[in-house]
A and B are shown apart, each in its own frame.
Chain A
Amino acid sequence: MHVSWETVPGFLHEREEHGETTIVVELERLGEAALHLRDELGFNFLADVAATDYLGWNERPVAGYWGSGTGRDINRPGSWGLARKPEPRPERFSVSYHLLKLAAGAREAPRVRLQVWCEDGDPVPSLISVWPTADWHEREAWDMMGIRIEGHPNLTRILMEEDWEGHPLRKDYPLGGEPVRFSSEE
């Protein structure tokens, strides 16, 4: 996008890969950044709020060839089969807000990913006043990942039962289930 993202309050840096733009802002100024994006830059539609847990990232190196249609790129170390670690992440959790500029009859859909990073227990400001649809998405982020949303009027569990303990999508939460018993074993 031609827009300069420097004007977004709390702007830290931006990334552009696979045709998508990600702007990272400071956690404390997320509310202002969201308002700026909605009012000044016109991103009136919040598509998704995705929380990711990076516990255990960058601990095991991954080796292997990465296929591409044009063959191997010998300038990338990973393409030789040597072990590589992905870039380290600053903090444990990232919350990504996928925004879209929705205009009736338009012929293009500018998208941007607004991302904040936080540690376990850091409060993330709620964006309900900016995009009302954030309500259930933030409840899901709290339920599944334990991201504490500050200022949410109804922060209760949405997918799990009310009295469930733990946050299932965290990396230190076990998958669960039970071992399969075969009839020939008894």
Chain B
Amino acid sequence: MAEVERKKRLADYGLHSERLLMRRKEPGVFERELGDLEDKLMLTTLEKAVAWAQGHSIWPDTFGLACCAMEMIAIVSPRYDVARFGAEVFRSSPRQADLLIVSGRVAHKMAKPLRQIYDQMLEPKWVIAMGACASSGGMFGNYAILQGVDKIVPVDIHVPGCPPRPEALLEGIVRLQEKVIAGVPPAYEIREVAS
């Protein structure tokens, strides 16, 4: 029986984050490490299917704090459409959300509600620390701001910028997707919170 000639689809080029823009780029550090991990993890087909489904439908929680929240809302906008990655449904209730995008500076007063929201989310759950303030306290090295949310929640992806462009946040989400699809467990299974 003759083999049907399949047209090259986007998936065949590999929907890898760095090669969305630069087609002929060699695999970068992220891709190589992820490839190694994928080989080591040796997931079964069922686990791979589940991971593929989970990765392509990560629903974020509406956790906008400050300026980064504006760019987070911008990824929903028609130009930077996050719906094409499956993540356009921002759930207001943490019980229905998979992803917590901490967008903005976290004051010490807000740290307790942040941890409560994280605890209310059901596993598996992922955290993206968006922006400089969420990753490390940003430009505010003072008494009021938590110097990095990885002190209270385990973080999967840090997105740099002040604020990061919507494309940068999208890259963060795409890399998270790739991590999930490769089978890397969420951060709470790998590491403790930073000290």
Contact = CB atoms under 8 A, between A and B. Distances in A.
Chain A–chain B contact at Cβ < 8 A: yes
B141 A175 contact: yes
Interface stretch (B64-72, B81-89, B142-150): B142-150
* Chief secondary structure at chain A's binding surface: loop
A175 B140 CA distance: 10
A173 B144 CA distance: 12
Interface residues of B, number: 11
Interface in B80-99: none
B108 A161 contact: yes
A174 B140 CA distance: 14
B137 interface: yes
Contacts of B140: 177
Nearest to A179: B141
Interface in A120-178: 160-161, 168, 173-178
A147 B191 CA distance: 45
Contacts of A173: 143
19 contacts: A160-B109, A161-B108, A161-B109, A173-B143, A174-B143, A175-B141, A175-B142, A175-B143, A176-B141, A176-B143, A176-B144, A177-B140, A177-B141, A177-B143, A177-B145, A177-B147, A178-B137, A178-B147, A180-B136
A175 B143 CA distance: 6
A161 B143 CA distance: 12
Interface in B94-145: 108-109, 136-137, 140-145
A173 B143 CA distance: 10
A161 B109 CA distance: 6
Contacts of B144: 160, 168, 176
A133 B35 CA distance: 60
A178 B141 contact: yes
B97 to A, nearest CB: 26
A150 B174 CA distance: 56
A59 to B, nearest CB: 23
A178 B137 CA distance: 10
